[in-house]
Amino acid sequence: MLDFQRYQIAFTAHIRDPNANKKPAKIAYSRMAIYREIVFNNIFGSVSACFPVCKNVLGARAWRKLVRQFFSNYQANSPIFREIPQQFLQFLTTVENLALFLQQLAHYEWVELAVSAQQNTFINLSKKPDLLNEIPKLTPAHQLLAYDYAVHKISKRHLPKMIESTYLLVFRNAENQVKFIELNAMTFQLLNLIEKNNLTGKQALSKLVEEMKHPDSDAIIRFGVEIFADLVHQQAIIGSTKI
Amino acid sequence: MPTLDDIKGVGLGLKRELIPQIQRLFHDPSIGNINFVEIAPENWMGAGGKAAADLAWFVERFPIVCHGLCLSLGGPDPLNIDFLKQVKQFLAQNKIPLYTEHLSFCSDIQQGKPGYMYDLLPIPFTEEAVKYVAQRIRQTQDLLGQRIAIENTSYYVSAPISTMDEITFLNAVLSEADCDLHLDINNIYVNSINFNFDAEDFLKQLPSERIVYSHVAGHLQLASNLLVDTHGENIIDLVWALLNQAYARFGPFPTLLERDINIPPLPELLFEIDKIAALQAQHKMKKAQAA
């Protein structure tokens, strides 16, 4: 390592964690304060903007400490500013003694940003959608999510007391707005089957009947048709593709 | 397809808040002096949705410059080649003729792992650093297949290990790397106050043939001898005077207004845009008269 690089690393080590690392010699402490503040505040602002509920649940002091820990100990490897919250999310998985509901809440808060910026991909849809005999297609910018807690109901006053399986479809509509739909377990499983295995609506529904050992397969088909119609109406399903 | 020649007149740093206003006023003569816009690739690369739609709108209507923040030309960790390849693709996709970066570093290595700091930190002014940074600039230019320009950066702490002053360092890097200069007028002023040197003297020593365009911006005064380059205030008279001197010395080069925080409504920014345009016109006329 070159001399000037040794200085650079001492310089950034102090900015990252001023309590643990002394500033390089012969620099005015007051001048160094500018870097200590602007660099941390930039990251603190970017992370805080993405996770307002986590911040609120933890309280200002604990939140600040957590972001400082992120900045001090975690080497973020993406040069893209939008991805700072994602780096923070990865860091959270390394934090000991952090409640699982907080990790999941953070993921839920991050998803809005992720889906809003998810890249556009083109799907070659059939001219006439046929959701039962072809593969129903969700709009490409979406995430199908399962959480152990009702993450969308958490606030400082409503901390989760128990496990409550929660299924969400988060997607970006044609107007580029991010929408959240809470799903029941069956709908989640239906969409999951379609997506994972590239099944037609009908195939996925018969698989569902099989898995549930449901006696009335017609009822399940009717259920499926209704669900599809609703998701089309909400702009989550945009059409279908041939097998 | 825009070329370097289309980066002319006055530009404006593109912030999200300004986008709907520019779109609304696009056919209005009041924004006629905005000739080009500048974006940070780190804010736009890889984004779909609204950001992609907005970018496409501007690509069709304005010449664009990419002004990077995270390449970390002076960083102790290896140059991020994957990122640079993505930048190259981004420039091509969006018909962007120019990429500029800062003469600074924004990443480090701790416990053997590289990581981003997401801010511009000052490189110590040493011989070793000149060679190191120049080599990385050349590597960047080779990979992109085009010249880049580097910006003289504002800073607040002078490294005790420095063996030369800022202008010597800047000129040494420019000539060793053979790259262009993205001249920041406000940064000259800010540094001249923070480190007590003569801004005009700095200006005189710049290689005019390397200037591609310049920045002007406002800053925050924390103490009589301490300015912070916030891009959050109006441009002060002394910075206008320095821009005027630069035009007088080098001719009226393209100039872009940066405003990153406390962003006022567009019509207020247009005062400064129009003022730059008027100053450029004045110097063009003087030059024509002298010829």
Give pLDDT, residue A32: 96
**What confidence tens digit (pLDDT) does each residue in A73-122 have?**
999 999 999 999 999 999 999 999 999 999 999 999 999 999 999 998 99
Chain A contacts in chain B segment 98-117 (CB below 8 A) = 105, 108-111, 113-117
Q: Do B71 and A76 touch (CB under 8 A)?
A: no
Q: Do A3 and B126 touch (CB under 8 A)?
A: yes
Of all residues in chain A, the one with the smallest CA distance to B226 is A31
DSSP state of A157: S
**What confidence tens digit (pLDDT) does each residue in B211-225 have?**
999 999 999 999 999
Confidence of residue B134 (pLDDT cuts 50, 70, 90): very high
Which residue from A4, A39, A75 is facing B119, i.e. has the nearest CB? A39
- Report yes or no: B151 and B187 within 8 Å, Cβ to Cβ: yes
Test the B interface: residue of A16, A75, A172 with most B CBs within 10 Å: A75
Q: Whole-angstrom Cα distance, residue B53 to residue B124?
A: 41
- Say what angle helices B127-144 and B166-177 make with each other, to 10 degrees: 40
Test the B interface: residue of A2, A6, A12, A15 with most B CBs within 10 Å: A12
- Report yes or no: A178 and A115 within 8 Å, Cβ to Cβ: yes
Q: Do B132 and A8 touch (CB under 8 A)?
A: no
Q: From A233, A235, A232, select the one nearest A130 (Cα to Cα).
A: A232
Its ipTM equals 0.96
Distances (CA, A) of A199 to A191, A192, A212, A223, B271: 10, 10, 17, 17, 60
Which residue from B47, B75, B80 is facing A82, i.e. has the nearest CB? B47
Chain A contacts in chain B segment 22-81 (CB below 8 A) = 40, 42-43, 45-53, 69-72, 74-76, 80
Q: What is the pLDDT along chain A (243 residues), one digit of tens a residue?
A: 999 999 999 999 999 999 999 999 999 988 999 999 999 999 999 999 999 999 999 999 999 999 999 999 999 999 999 999 999 999 999 999 999 999 999 999 999 999 999 998 999 999 999 999 999 999 999 999 999 999 999 999 999 999 999 999 999 999 999 999 999 999 999 999 999 999 999 999 999 999 988 888 899 999 999 999 999 999 999 999 998
Which residue from B53, B83, B126 is facing A79, i.e. has the nearest CB? B83
Whether the predicted model's global pTM rises above the 0.90 cut: yes
Which residue from B48, B70, B128 is facing A120, i.e. has the nearest CB? B48
What average pLDDT does the segment B271-288 reach?
96
